[in-house]
């Protein structure tokens, strides 16, 4: 049950009655009229229980874009239902409009268009639908919550997809569409063709030449069907915000670009998110399914405020992949976490796999290091220099173990990681 | 959405569907539309209050004073009474009035709002006839029980319509705005209106009490209208001697304190009660929420650079000039060394200090000793020296870069 403003206004106007006709009788008459109106309204208001609610529309939306969900209200009762309706969503779902006026005659249905612009990644579940059905006099209303479940998944925005065409062009150069390739490590036999002037004489296939009148050379192309294992660290270091974005979101963006690129290059890409347990996993997805599968797997991931268990992560990885692959670890170059967690386990990992560590650096540290003028800025600069020195030391140590390190600010990490991958592929090191 | 746009920030909510923020004009328009009903109600209340105040007759301090020649004074009537041989005495307090009264006097009581409760009690003991001119409710209750106020009439003139000789002789009288009364068992009830009578005469404790709802027949200004003078003289001159009680305003504190509740009419109390009910109903209306509040787990907000900033504050709090200077020098060496064509590892290697200093001095305007003091020198003596050190390091780095 709910009262309306009209009832309050009537009661206010009723206050004039005892001024004109002093006496309890007049006042009780006013109250009686109001009470009668309220009772009549409650009795005659449309029945909320007789509503049937359906939904249809989008179930997923890329972060920053708008999803449309339609709520259909069907009145199965005998009375017209008039009043307000609120489709309740969590605040971060960005649902509009907040409340809607509804007027559904008996036996008819009305559609309510909701637009959702989620402000964060993850699943947004519709909480409930609240209907306030006002009586014909507009003095009182019946209010009830009805459930109408629906989930909209906000997917990672993947802003770095604009880099994909440029990286694919570089990939095509590598695969021989534009340049004559020479034999190298990590390449495989592609085809035989006639020798043209300028070809490397070392690539002449003498056996084939002997069978034919012409000189024949072998062509080579980069290896295909390599395995790439993307590992997202969702531990405490991934929660830190760089600019206004959690480090995890930057890592996801970079992982998505690398995944898209590598799958086009013919490599197999797997994904693992880990802190102290496996948070999500994408394995064995086909080329076309990979990106949607990765995006859906990443959507509900949130950073956990716990230290990442490097030993558990390495053992999980070793157990799952037997053959050699490229392990791309998206984490943070945090001195304590790397030195105590990852470094002792690196030899075990590098003995079988090629390891690449990608870390998002914070531009704020650079700003602080450039601070001059007053004492506070100078101490800031000193602390920033110290942090940078630590980072350099960790990077050097990792490189000493044969690990590739990509360290870039948030808006450059995705293309930088893609470049590092292309460089490895060009060098045939996969 | 660009990659630099904050994906988790509220600003991102202003996506394609968010639209622009409303302009000041739109905001003002919206507020006006939402509040104009309230403004209209307030204005209407103000207008009603002004009209009611304008309708109320104003009373001057010496109204109905038999010595006042003003428009609403009563000197004319007093003079006429004296000339007709009546023994008129003016009393300024109830004690004087009682002293002057005998069983054969008419006590005219005016300006009853100035009477205190003690005065009213005292007046009960008056021996002769009473004429109450526009009495207040408490006076009416004490001196003329059975007479109830019935409301206000705005009909100006009226014919007697009763058997009271004082009225029938006077004929039609101009009352203007007048109170009216109803009485259970009156001797006479004259000048009828729809709701009551303007003049009521009752018998109480063996004396005649006349209640008149309008003061007009007694005032100088209206004395010559219709039968006003006649009515006043007939009422006041019913006995050979007249005591005209016009009480002085009571001394502050002379009357026992009346609470606000005693002073408020009953209707106003009910009005306030109904207002409270209205406020309660409005509160209930506003308090009922359309649906639940949705709680949501929010993501942790930790700025990534917070540890670095924390270390900077620790340095400053403990005045760690040595560590700060070391860090700054190491950072500068790290950037300078590759420019000199030396291996990176020599930057933090003190064995290569001499070599680095010599190479830097060669490329800059600084001497060997100066460069040594800047890149490897002792802890700065004070804060100013630390700030100066950063400037020299920057200068050194720039010169090496440009060489």
3-state secondary structure of B254: coil
Do A249 and A395 share a domain, yes or no?
yes
**Alpha carbon of B274: minimum distance to chain A alpha carbons (Å):** 5
B388 within domain boundaries: yes
A292 within domain boundaries: yes
CB A158 within 8 A of CB A63: no
For the cut 50, the answer to whether the pLDDT of residue B362 exceeds it is yes
CA distances from B60 to B63, B68, B72, B116, B247 (A): 5, 11, 8, 20, 14
Mean residue pLDDT of chain A comes to 90
Do A137 and A214 share a domain, yes or no?
no
For the cut 80, the answer to whether the pLDDT of residue B56 exceeds it is no
* CB within 8 Å: A11 and B327: no
Do A411 and A273 share a domain, yes or no?
yes
Chain A CB contacts of B323 under 8 Å are 382, 386
List the CATH number of the domain containing A80. 2.60.40.10
Picking from B268, B312, B390, the nearest residue to A372 by CB comes out as B390
In sign, the C-alpha dihedral spanning A325, A331, A333, A335 is negative
* CB within 8 Å: B17 and A387: no
What is the interface size between A and B, counted as CB pairs within 8 Å?
231
Residue A182 is predicted with a pLDDT of: 54
The tally of domains found in chain A comes to 3
Residues B310 and B381: their CA atoms lie apart, in Å, by 24
Domain that holds residue B392: 310-402
pLDDT in tens, A143-192: 999 999 999 999 999 999 999 999 998 888 877 654 445 555 456 677 78
A27 within domain boundaries: no
Chain A CB contacts of B309 under 8 Å are 368, 380, 383
Asked which of B196, B221, B249 is the last residue of a domain, the reply is B249
**Alpha carbon of A185: minimum distance to chain B alpha carbons (Å):** 30
- A204: which DSSP letter? B
Do B113 and B240 share a domain, yes or no?
yes
* CB within 8 Å: B281 and A3: yes
* CB within 8 Å: A239 and B290: no
Mean pLDDT of A318-341: 90
CB A305 within 8 A of CB A236: yes
Residue A180 is predicted with a pLDDT of: 45
Q: What band does B62 get if pLDDT is binned at 50, 70 and 90?
A: confident
Question: Which residue has better confidence, B92 or A112?
Answer: A112
CA distances from A121 to A63, A241, A245, A354 (A): 6, 15, 11, 31
**Alpha carbon of A156: minimum distance to chain B alpha carbons (Å):** 9
A24 within domain boundaries: no
Residues B31 and A318: their CA atoms lie apart, in Å, by 65
A34 within domain boundaries: no
ipTM of predicted assembly, 2 dp: 0.75
Residues A7 and B41: their CA atoms lie apart, in Å, by 16
Asked which of B207, B232, B249 is the last residue of a domain, the reply is B249
Q: What strands lie across the sheet with A245-246, from one edge to the other?
A: A245-246, A240-242, B302-303
Please list, in sequence order, all residues whose beta carbon lies within 8 angstroms of the beta carbon of residue A36, skipping any fewer than 6 positions away. none
Do A309 and A278 share a domain, yes or no?
yes
Chain B CB contacts of A21 under 8 Å are 267
Do B333 and B224 share a domain, yes or no?
no
Do B245 and B362 share a domain, yes or no?
no
A21 within domain boundaries: no
Residue B338 CB neighbour total at 10 angstroms: 11
Q: Give A230's strand partners.
A: A271, A328
Closest CA to A154 of A87, A59, A249: A59
Do A218 and A309 share a domain, yes or no?
no
Closest CA to A132 of A164, A107, A105, A101: A101
A102 within domain boundaries: yes
Q: What band does B279 get if pLDDT is binned at 50, 70 and 90?
A: very high
Mean pLDDT of A206-223: 82
For the cut 70, the answer to whether the pLDDT of residue A313 exceeds it is yes
CB A263 within 8 A of CB A305: no
Closest CA to A64 of B6, B4, B15: B15
Residue A403 is predicted with a pLDDT of: 94
CB A116 within 8 A of CB A129: no
B268 within domain boundaries: no
For an interface test with A, the pick among B312, B335, B347 (most A C-beta atoms closer than 10 Å) comes out as B312
Q: Give A260's strand partners.
A: none
Picking from A3, A242, A372, the nearest residue to B284 by CB comes out as A3
Do B208 and B113 share a domain, yes or no?
yes
Q: What percent of chain A has pLDDT over 90?
A: 71
Picking from B17, B291, B299, the nearest residue to A130 by CB comes out as B291
**Alpha carbon of A130: minimum distance to chain B alpha carbons (Å):** 5
For an interface test with A, the pick among B273, B298, B304, B306 (most A C-beta atoms closer than 10 Å) comes out as B304
CB B179 within 8 A of CB B152: yes
Picking from B8, B277, B309, the nearest residue to A246 by CB comes out as B8
Do A145 and A246 share a domain, yes or no?
no
Do A242 and A376 share a domain, yes or no?
yes
Mean pLDDT of A259-274: 93
* CB within 8 Å: A132 and B1: no
* CB within 8 Å: B328 and A382: yes
* CB within 8 Å: B4 and A246: no
Residue A9 is predicted with a pLDDT of: 93
Do A231 and A348 share a domain, yes or no?
yes
pLDDT in tens, A296-311: 999 999 998 899 999 9
B329 within domain boundaries: yes
Question: Which residue has better confidence, B73 or A353?
Answer: A353
Do A127 and A69 share a domain, yes or no?
yes
* CB within 8 Å: B274 and A18: yes
**Alpha carbon of A173: minimum distance to chain B alpha carbons (Å):** 27
Range with the lowest mean pLDDT among A10-19, A79-88, A189-198, B67-76?
Answer: A189-198
Do B130 and B221 share a domain, yes or no?
yes
Do A241 and A216 share a domain, yes or no?
no
For the cut 50, the answer to whether the pLDDT of residue B11 exceeds it is no
Picking from A2, A117, A364, the nearest residue to B18 by CB comes out as A117
Mean pLDDT of B72-98: 85
Domain that holds residue A149: 51-155
Do A318 and A234 share a domain, yes or no?
yes
* CB within 8 Å: A364 and B271: no
Residue B167 is predicted with a pLDDT of: 85
Do B226 and B318 share a domain, yes or no?
no
Residue A357 is predicted with a pLDDT of: 95
List the CATH number of the domain containing B109. 3.40.50
Determine the longest span between alpha carbons in chain B, in angstroms.
138
List the CATH number of the domain containing A254. 3.40.50.410
Question: Which residue has better confidence, B336 or B176?
Answer: B336
* CB within 8 Å: A376 and B312: yes
pLDDT in tens, B93-145: 888 888 888 888 888 888 888 888 888 888 888 888 888 888 888 888 888 88
**Alpha carbon of A67: minimum distance to chain B alpha carbons (Å):** 10
Q: Give A326's strand partners.
A: A228, A354
Q: What band does B330 get if pLDDT is binned at 50, 70 and 90?
A: very high
* CB within 8 Å: B274 and A375: no
Closest CA to A378 of A386, A387, A369: A369
The tally of domains found in chain B comes to 2
**Alpha carbon of A348: minimum distance to chain B alpha carbons (Å):** 27
Residue A387 is predicted with a pLDDT of: 94
A414 within domain boundaries: yes
Cα B363–Cα B364–Cα B366 angle in degrees, nearest 5: 135
Residue B258 is predicted with a pLDDT of: 63
**Alpha carbon of B294: minimum distance to chain A alpha carbons (Å):** 6
Mean residue pLDDT of chain B comes to 83
B258 within domain boundaries: no
* CB within 8 Å: A411 and B394: no
Q: Which residue in A has a C-alpha nearest to residue B392's C-alpha? A: A372
Question: Which residue has better confidence, B192 or A378?
Answer: A378
Range with the lowest mean pLDDT among A231-235, A377-381, B7-11, B61-65?
Answer: B7-11
Do B90 and B233 share a domain, yes or no?
yes
Chain B CB contacts of A4 under 8 Å are 285
Do A70 and A142 share a domain, yes or no?
yes
**Alpha carbon of A411: minimum distance to chain B alpha carbons (Å):** 6
Q: What band does B18 get if pLDDT is binned at 50, 70 and 90?
A: very low
Picking from B4, B315, B391, the nearest residue to A383 by CB comes out as B315
CB A27 within 8 A of CB A19: no
Burial class (CB in 10 A: 0-12, 13-18, 19+), B47: exposed
Asked which of B234, B249, B264 is the last residue of a domain, the reply is B249
Chain A CB contacts of B288 under 8 Å are 2-3, 143
Picking from A90, A115, A132, the nearest residue to B17 by CB comes out as A115
Mean pLDDT of B163-192: 85
Mean pLDDT of B147-155: 84
For an interface test with B, the pick among A16, A97, A379 (most B C-beta atoms closer than 10 Å) comes out as A379
For the cut 60, the answer to whether the pLDDT of residue B16 exceeds it is no
Mean pLDDT of B231-240: 83
B204 within domain boundaries: yes
Residue A187 is predicted with a pLDDT of: 63
Residue B1 is predicted with a pLDDT of: 33
B32 within domain boundaries: no
A37 within domain boundaries: no
Burial class (CB in 10 A: 0-12, 13-18, 19+), B232: buried
Chain-centroid distance, C-alpha B133:
37
**Alpha carbon of A152: minimum distance to chain B alpha carbons (Å):** 15
Residue B219 is predicted with a pLDDT of: 86
Residue A188 is predicted with a pLDDT of: 65
């Amino acid at each position: 049950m709910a009262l309306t403003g009209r009832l309050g206004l009537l009661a206010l106007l009723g206050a004039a009655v005892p001024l004109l006709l002093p006496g309890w009788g007049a006042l009780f008459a006013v109250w009686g009229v109001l009470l009668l109106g309220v009772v009549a309204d409650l009795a005659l208001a449309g029945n909320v229980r007789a509503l049937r609610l359906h939904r249809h529309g989008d179930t997923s939306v890329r972060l920053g874009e708008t999803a449309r969900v339609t709520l259909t209200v069907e009145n199965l009762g005998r009375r017209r239902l008039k009043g307000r309706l609120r489709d309740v969503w969590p605040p971060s779902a960005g649902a509009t409009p907040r409340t809607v006026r509804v007027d559904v005659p008996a036996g008819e249905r009305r559609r309510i268009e909701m637009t959702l612009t989620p402000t964060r990644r993850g699943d947004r579940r519709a909480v409930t639908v609240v209907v306030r059905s006002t009586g014909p006099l507009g003095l009182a209303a019946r209010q009830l919550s009805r459930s109408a479940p629906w989930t909209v998944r906000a997917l990672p925005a993947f802003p770095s997809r604009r880099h994909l065409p440029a990286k694919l062009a570089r990939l095509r150069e590598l695969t021989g569409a534009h340049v004559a390739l020479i034999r190298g490590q990590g390449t495989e036999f592609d085809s035989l063709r006639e020798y043209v002037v300028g070809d490397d004489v070392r690539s002449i296939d003498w056996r084939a030449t002997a069978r034919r009148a012409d000189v024949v050379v072998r062509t080579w192309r980069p290896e295909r069907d390599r395995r790439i294992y993307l590992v997202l660290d969702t531990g405490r270091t991934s929660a830190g915000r760089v600019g206004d974005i959690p480090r995890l979101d930057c890592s996801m963006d970079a992982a998505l670009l690398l995944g898209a690129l590598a799958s086009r290059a013919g490599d197999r890409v797997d994904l693992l998110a880990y802190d102290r347990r496996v948070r999500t996993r994408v394995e064995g997805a086909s080329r076309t399914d990979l990106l949607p599968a990765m995006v859906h797997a990443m959507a509900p991931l949130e950073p956990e405020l716990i230290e990442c268990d490097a030993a558990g992560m390495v053992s999980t990885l070793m157990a799952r992949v037997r053959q050699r692959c490229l392990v791309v670890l998206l984490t943070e170059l945090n001195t304590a976490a790397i030195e105590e967690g990852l470094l002792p386990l690196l030899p075990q990992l590098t003995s079988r796999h090629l390891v690449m560590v990608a870390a998002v650096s914070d531009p704020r540290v650079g700003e602080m290091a450039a601070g001059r003028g007053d004492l506070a800025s100078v101490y800031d600069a000193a602390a920033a220099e110290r942090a940078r020195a630590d980072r350099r030391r960790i990077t050097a140590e990792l490189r000493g173990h044969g690990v590739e390190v990509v360290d870039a600010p948030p808006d450059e990490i995705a293309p930088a990681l893609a470049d590092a991958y292309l460089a490895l592929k060009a060098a045939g090191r996969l | 959405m660009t990659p630099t746009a904050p994906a988790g920030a509220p600003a991102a909510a202003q996506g394609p569907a968010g639209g622009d923020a409303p302009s000041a004009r739109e905001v003002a328009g919206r507020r006006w539309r939402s509040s104009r009903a309230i403004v209209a109600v307030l204005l209407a209340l103000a207008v009603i209050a002004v009209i009611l105040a304008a309708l109320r007759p104003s009373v001057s301090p010496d109204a109905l004073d038999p010595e006042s020649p003003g428009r609403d004074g009563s000197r004319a009537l007093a003079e006429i009474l004296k000339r007709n041989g009546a023994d008129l005495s003016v009393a300024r307090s109830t004690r004087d009035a009682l002293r002057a009264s005998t069983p054969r006097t008419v006590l005219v009581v005016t300006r009853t709002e100035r009477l205190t409760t003690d005065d009213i009690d005292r007046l009960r003991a008056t021996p002769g006839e009473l004429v109450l001119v526009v009495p207040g409710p408490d006076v009416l209750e004490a001196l003329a029980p059975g007479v109830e106020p019935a409301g206000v009439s705005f009909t100006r003139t009226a014919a007697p319509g009763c058997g009271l000789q004082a009225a029938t002789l006077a004929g039609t009288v101009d009352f203007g705005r007048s109170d009216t009364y109803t009485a259970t068992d009156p001797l006479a009830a004259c000048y009828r209106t729809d709701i009551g009578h303007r003049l009521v005469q009752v018998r109480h404790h063996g004396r005649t009490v006349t209640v008149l709802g309008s003061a007009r027949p007694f005032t100088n200004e209206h004395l010559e209208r219709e039968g006003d003078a006649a009515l006043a003289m007939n009422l006041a001159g019913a006995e050979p001697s007249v005591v005209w009680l016009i009480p002085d305003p009571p001394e502050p504190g002379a009357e026992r304190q009346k609470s606000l509740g005693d002073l408020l009419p009953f209707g106003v109390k009910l009005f306030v009660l109904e207002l409270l009910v209205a406020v309660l109903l409005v509160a209930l209306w506003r308090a009922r929420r359309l649906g639940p509040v949705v709680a949501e787990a929010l993501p942790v907000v930790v700025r990534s650079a917070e540890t670095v900033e924390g270390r900077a504050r620790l340095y400053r709090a403990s005045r760690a000039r040595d560590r700060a200077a070391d860090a700054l020098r190491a950072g500068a060496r790290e950037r300078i060394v590759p420019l000199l064509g030396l291996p990176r590892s020599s930057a933090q290697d003190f064995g290569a200090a001499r070599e680095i200093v010599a190479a830097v001095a060669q490329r800059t305007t600084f001497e060997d000793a100066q460069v040594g003091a800047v890149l490897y020198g002792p802890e700065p003596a004070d804060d100013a020296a630390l700030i100066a050190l950063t400037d020299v390091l920057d200068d050194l780095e720039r010169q090496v870069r440009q060489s």
